[in-house]
């Protein structure tokens, strides 16, 4: 009897049953390698410079800056540009207080959408996480996630 109660509590935690909504700040950045003299950040990227500074690019331009609220267990789909779509699924909060966010990026040009990224981010409060390597002429897309 005790083991079934513990199992139910564990499943409830893993499924995010009692998890609070997640406030998520999502930014889509174009990173380009120029032959310039230093790194350039447009006005929108200055707030996330610390998440971009170690990347091998010279110019960073904000393409999208969104604040989202996600409920545990629900999926949210976003179009990144003509080539990619983004699927976010909030999986709740782990024992250390980090939010678990399942992230999938798919190519929209293939049918069905071919997954190019599939990962789970552990987002600590007031920290940033990023996903890069998504090709976009003339550079790459960098996705930056943060929570308050």
pLDDT score, position 10: 45
Q: Which has the closest alpha carbon to 84: 122, 131, 52?
A: 131
pLDDT score, position 17: 52
pLDDT score, position 5: 39
Q: How far is CA 120 from CA 3, 15, 34, 97, 98, in A?
A: 29, 14, 32, 15, 12
pLDDT score, position 34: 85
The tens digit of pLDDT for each residue in 1-49 reads 444 433 344 444 444 457 789 999 999 999 999 877 789 999 999 999 9
Enter the tokens of residue 114: 């071919």
Q: Is the pLDDT of residue 140 over 50?
A: yes
Whole-structure pTM value: 0.84
| DSSP string computed for 73-134 | T-EEEEE-SSSEEEEEEEEEE-TTSPEEEEEEEEESSSSSPEEEEEEEEEE-TT-EEEEEEE
pLDDT score, position 1: 43
Q: How far is CA 85 from CA 43, 61, 127, in A?
A: 25, 19, 24
The tens digit of pLDDT for each residue in 80-138 reads 977 899 999 999 999 999 999 999 999 987 777 799 999 999 999 999 999 999 998 88
């Amino acid at each position: 009897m005790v083991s079934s109660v513990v199992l139910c509590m564990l499943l409830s935690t893993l499924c995010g049953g009692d998890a609070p909504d997640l406030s998520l700040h999502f930014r889509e950045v174009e990173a380009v390698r120029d032959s310039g003299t230093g790194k350039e950040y447009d006005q929108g990227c200055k707030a996330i410079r610390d998440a971009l500074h170690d990347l091998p690019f010279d110019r960073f331009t904000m393409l999208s800056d969104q604040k989202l609220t996600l409920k545990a267990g629900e999926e949210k789909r976003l179009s990144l540009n003509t080539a990619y779509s983004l699927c976010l699924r909030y999986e709740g909060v782990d024992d250390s207080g980090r939010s678990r966010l399942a992230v999938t990026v798919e190519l929209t040009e293939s049918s069905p959408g071919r997954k190019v990224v599939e990962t789970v981010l552990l987002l600590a409060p007031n920290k940033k996480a990023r996903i890069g390597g998504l090709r976009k002429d003339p550079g790459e897309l960098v996705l930056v996630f943060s929570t308050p």
